[in-house]
């Protein structure tokens, strides 16, 4: 992977590099059961990319460029979103536009404050964007949206790294949320086929 460069200012080149990382590290074909309970002939382990140093930096830079201008924080449901929101927050500080990260727990903390949300306290009505690695049905990110709204934050946007194109986008639209994905599964599978022909 020595040919990967994440210091480029060219977001198109950066997107291609991140796509290749998903093809190399995250995409597998076989027989899998997804967290939604559905069976699939392929699996995308987004954490193989978002926990990779180059993948994390590329993720942070690309997602930061997609955030609405009024974003006051990024958040996501643990565990898949943890490295993503952290990467975006760190890159935002490097870009002199610091955006805090929030992590939404699956269950309330069992001690102390018993909070669902970890991270800096924000003013009521703060604009928070939910980030996700892979969207299938949309249920995981929606859980984060609901917890954040219950805490008094305004959440209108969800951004994912990969949309499996299995109903998540439509589900968010029904809920009145704006949804954007860096890649679709079609993008990844097309790139996998393209690269296999080159070899």
- Give the count of alpha carbons within 13 A of 3, CB side only: 5
Q: How many CB atoms lie within 10 A of CB 183?
A: 18
| Residue 120 within a domain | yes
| Residue 2 within a domain | no
| Residue 6 within a domain | no
Q: Give how many domains the chain has, as a whole number.
A: 1
- Give the count of alpha carbons within 13 A of 36, CB side only: 16
Higher pLDDT, 35 or 109: 35
Q: Which residues pair with 32 in a beta bridge?
A: 40
Is residue 45 within 8 Å of 11, Cβ to Cβ? no
Tokens linked to 68? 């609405």
Tokens linked to 154? 């305004």
- pLDDT exceeding 70 applies to what percent of the chain? 92
Tell me the residue range of the domain where 46 lies: 11-198
- pLDDT tens digits, 110-126: 655 558 999 999 999 99
- pLDDT exceeding 90 applies to what percent of the chain? 84
| Residue 5 within a domain | no
Buried b or exposed e, range 31-57, using 16+ CB within 10 angstroms: eeeeebeeebeeebbbbbbbbbebbbb
Q: Which residue from 182, 184, 188 is spatially nearest to 60, judged by alpha carbons?
A: 182
Tokens linked to 130? 């939910």
CATH code of residue 167: 3.40.50.2020
Q: How many CB atoms lie within 10 A of CB 187?
A: 17
| Residue 113 within a domain | yes
- pLDDT tens digits, 137-153: 999 999 999 999 999 99
pLDDT band at 199 (very low <50, low <70, confident <90, very high): low
| Residue 4 within a domain | no
pLDDT band at 108 (very low <50, low <70, confident <90, very high): confident
Tokens linked to 55? 């993948």
Higher pLDDT, 11 or 7: 11
- pLDDT tens digits, 20-32: 999 999 999 999 9
Q: What is the pLDDT of residue 2?
A: 45
| Residue 175 within a domain | yes
Task: Report CA Rg, the chain.
Answer: 17
The whole-number average pLDDT for the span 167-184 is: 97
Q: What is the pLDDT of residue 107?
A: 84
Q: What is the pLDDT of residue 38?
A: 81
DSSP state of 145: H
**What is the residue whose two structure tokens read 């992590």?**
103
Higher pLDDT, 39 or 23: 23
| Residue 160 within a domain | yes
The whole-number average pLDDT for the span 46-66 is: 96
Q: What is the pLDDT of residue 35?
A: 77
């Amino acid at each position: 992977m020595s040919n990967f460069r994440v210091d480029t200012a060219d977001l198109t080149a950066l997107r291609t590099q991140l796509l290749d990382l998903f093809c190399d590290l995250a995409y597998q074909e076989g027989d899998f059961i997804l967290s939604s309970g559905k069976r699939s002939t392929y699996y995308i382990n987004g954490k193989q990319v978002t926990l990779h140093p180059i993948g994390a930096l590329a993720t942070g830079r690309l997602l930061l460029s997609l955030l609405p201008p009024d974003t006051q924080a990024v958040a996501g449901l643990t565990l898949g979103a943890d490295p993503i929101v952290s990467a975006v927050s760190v890159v935002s500080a490097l870009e002199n536009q610091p955006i805090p990260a929030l992590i939404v727990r699956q269950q309330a903390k069992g001690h102390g404050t018993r909070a669902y949300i970890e991270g800096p306290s924000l003013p009521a009505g703060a604009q928070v964007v939910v980030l996700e690695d892979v969207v299938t049905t949309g249920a995981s990110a929606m859980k984060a949206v609901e917890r954040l709204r219950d805490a008094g934050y305004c959440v209108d946007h969800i951004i994912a790294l990969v949309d499996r194109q299995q109903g998540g986008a439509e589900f968010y639209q029904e809920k009145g949320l704006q949804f954007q994905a860096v890649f679709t599964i079609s993008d990844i599978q097309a790139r996998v086929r393209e690269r296999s022909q080159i070899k």
